[in-house]
Structure 1
Amino acid sequence: MTTAVPEELTEYPLSVLLTPPDPPAAPVDFDAFWQNTFVEFGSGPVDWEVTEPLEPTPTHRVQRILFASSTGEQVVAWLALPHGPVTRGRVIGHGYGGRTEPDLADLPADTAAIFPVAPGQEANPPGRFPALSARHVLAGIQHRETYSHRYSAADLWRAATVLLDAAPDAAAALDYQGGSFGGGMGALALPWDERFRRASLDVPSFGHFPIRLSRRCTGSGESVRQHLRQHPEVRPVLDYFDAAIAASRIRIPVHVGAAVKDPSVDPRGQFAVYHALAGPKRLTVRGSGHLEGPIEELSDGLFRQATEDFFAAATIDRA
């Protein structure tokens, strides 16, 4: 059940959002934890199989697949492979709740893509983690090794391995794209995997927990905030899954979409991810995030176009 949040608490002046906050303190072994996680889950081969061919598009053939998750289960993904030569690759994350089909609308004709579904999320069969975001965000939170977000981030590495197995030429220009939950998971995954060239993170969640926990919201953060009232001992675990801390380790170019108004993901946390990035970065300021209506539709469209321009520019520079 979501919590109603007064509208005035979901919007901030742009001058406030463009001022970098004090960075959250990273655990002393933050890097070692994630490097070890990558070695454990992201550095080897990944078993996968095609389960169903889908109707091809004019530019791509599409397959539903299963691949071996970091949880030890099989998880669903979709592969989209160009009919013609492959010059780029893309791992595309999703928002909290999962996905039931791939979104192929803006996928360039030369780009091979994989659309993985995070462990426990919709399209996957019931397994280790619950599907409901309010429960998924708390699953395994008692310890950093068991937390659901560790496995969700790790499966992005594994999805990249599957994509490069299916389309080896994509290794020359592998990108990541994800929004909300997928934006936060992308930030956690990117610093440790040198295969990625560029990334686009839209309204990224899980950024700057001191900020994220300071305000009610309508998203998964509210479940965490309420849980900590009864279980304050798990608070240190969250620092290992702070997207703003992880962003300070990302050195590839990153495009961030951050909203000035968002009742689900605190805008201050979104901008904190952008501010923390250690490499070249580009910001698109969105009018809103996680809201229905014409401003949201316009924000979505502008950001998607900016993302395609961002990825395409790197291809032109390399040519």
Structure 2
Amino acid sequence: MTNGTVDDGDRSARDFAHDFPFDPAYGRTLNELLRVPAPDAPADFDAFWRSRYEAARAVDPKPEVGRLVEERDGARIHEVSYTSVGGVRLGGWLVLPAEGEAEHGFVVGHGYGGRDQVGPDVPLPLPRSAAILPCVRGMADRGLLPGVPSVAAEHVLHGIASRDTYVIGECVADLWCAAAALLELVPELNGPDPRLGYLGVSFGGGLGALALPWDERFAVGQLTVPTFGNHPLRLTLDCVGSGAAVRRYHAEHPEVVDVLSYFDAATAAGRLGKPVLVAAALFDPSVPPPGQFAVYNALAGARELRVLEAGHYEYEGTRQEQAGLDAATADFFARVLR
């Protein structure tokens, strides 16, 4: 385990000044966070996800490259669209090397709220890389769909009454279909060995944990402050954002725990045998740290940990911490995707 900024296991979150009506560190030391388990899986958890993956792989993504948006950091950035499950067309951005063929490929997930531009996702972790940055269904700017809420607190509840209609499962499929679109548009990435990496933050981190175990096209992943970890525990922890919406729904519909058990990122991580770098925070008002660490703790393969002071919270050292994480991520992918 690479501990990044870890000094010792008794380390606790900084005493940040805040006005939340709860403790975003949840009173846990690093040692305690490193012992948070994953919940038990439903008996047909694996079969459920393998079936959804097979359905996504059967989709012809029909990718279309749009206009050139900008060229910077050794990359050309285009608009792109593709087809996902249910026949929906989704948009995003395609990143290609400005010169030469791509040697690596990435699918880059986004946080709740979507993305309206490429922003800091470029430069990519490795030079001479291609990437697709999709907007999953319902999310701005290029994933908006009639009938699917675009507000996080509503989106996270869309179709939640059944495992077969819950939007989170469809968002995972959107990532699988994005990978298919990238491999069709950048044929040099196809080969006998997996050459794709995944990066995801928060919402995208949780989706990545759910997507990666079943998809042999990915060799490696990096998940930052991943959500959806250990739902039974999350439902007991106060927070803000989409997690709070699920807690409120659960208070009136306790049976939803049965659906959520199929969408637990920590449970899925127990099936994830590929190398994964997790960046988990000691203090986070939106994604409770116990859930983040549950994802890391459950990983079945080679794993590395970068401990962050805070997630979803700006403080004086945020930029410096992000720069350190960017460097660690680049080093990680350089070692694994060499």
Q: TM-score range by the shorter chain?
A: over 0.9
User: 1:10·1:263 contact (CA, 8 Å) conserved in 2?
Assistant: no
In the alignment, which residue of structure 1 is the partner of 2:278?
A: 256
RMSD: 1.6
Which residue pairs with 1:96 in the alignment? Answer: 112
1:116 aligns to 2:134 (yes or no): yes
Larger fraction in helix: 1
Shift of 1:138: 0.2
> Does residue 75 of structure 2 align to residue 60 of structure 1?
yes
Q: Are the aligned partners of 1:244 and 1:276 in contact in 2 as well (CA < 8 Å)?
A: yes
Alignment-derived partner of residue 180 in structure 1: 202
| 2:66 paired with 1:51 | yes
Q: Percent identity?
A: 43
Q: Is the 8 A contact 1:65 1:77 kept in 2?
A: yes
TM-score w.r.t. structure 1 length? 0.94
C-alpha distance in 2, partners of 1:38/1:315? 24
Q: Residue type matched to 1:207 in 2? A: G
- Change in CA separation of 1:44 and 1:10 when aligned onto 2, cut-off 3 Å: same
Distance change (3 Å), C-alpha of 1:116 and 1:11 = farther
Supply the distance in 1 between the matched residues of 2:102 and 2:257 (Cα, whole angstroms): 44
Q: Is the CA contact 1:288–1:299 (under 8 Å) kept in the aligned structure 2?
A: no
Alpha-carbon distance in 1 for matches of 2:147, 2:188: 34
Is the contact between residue 11 and residue 267 of structure 1 (CA under 8 Å) also seen in structure 2?
A: no
Aligned CA distance change for structure 1 residues 257 and 313 (closer, same or farther; 3 Å): same
Q: What does the per-residue CA deviation read over 1:15-57, in whole Å, with 9 as the maximum and x for residues that have no partner? A: 21122x3430101000000000011113443112123221222
The answer to whether the 8 A contact 2:102-2:186 is kept is yes
Aligned twin of 2:305:
283
**Further displaced range: 305-314 or 242-251:** 305-314
Compare relative contact order (CA 8 Å, sep 6+) and give the higher one, 1 or 2. Answer: 2
Distance 1:168 1:315, change over 3 A: same
- Compute the displacement of 1:109 (Å): 2.8
Q: Is the 8 A contact 1:119 1:128 kept in 2?
A: no
Alignment counterpart, residue 30 of structure 1, candidates 45, 56, 80: 45
TM-score (norm 2): 0.89
2:84 to 60, 65, 69: 69
Sort the Cα spacing of 1:134 and 1:71 in 2 relative to 1 into closer, same or farther, 3 A.
farther
- Give the AA of the match of 1:282: E
Residues of 2 paired with 1:37 and 1:121: CA distance?
21
Tell me, in whole angstroms, the C-alpha distance in 2 between the residues paired with 1:271 and 1:296: 20
- Kindly provide the CA deviation profile for residues 80-128 of structure 1, in whole angstroms up to 9, marking residues without a partner as x: 0112221100000000000011134331331100000010001133324
Structure 1: gaps of 5 or more residues: none
Deviation at 1:237, TM superposition (A): 0.2
Q: Is the 1:290–1:296 Cα contact (8 Å) retained in structure 2?
A: no
Which residue of 204, 209, 218 corresponds with 2:231?
Answer: 209
Q: Are residues 128 and 70 of structure 1, via their aligned partners in 2, closer, same or farther at CA, if it must alter by over 3 Å? A: farther
Instruction: Give 1:293's aligned residue.
Output: 315
1:193 aligns with 2:215: yes
Cα–Cα, structure 1 residues 80 and 210, in superposed 2: closer, same or farther, change >3 Å?
same
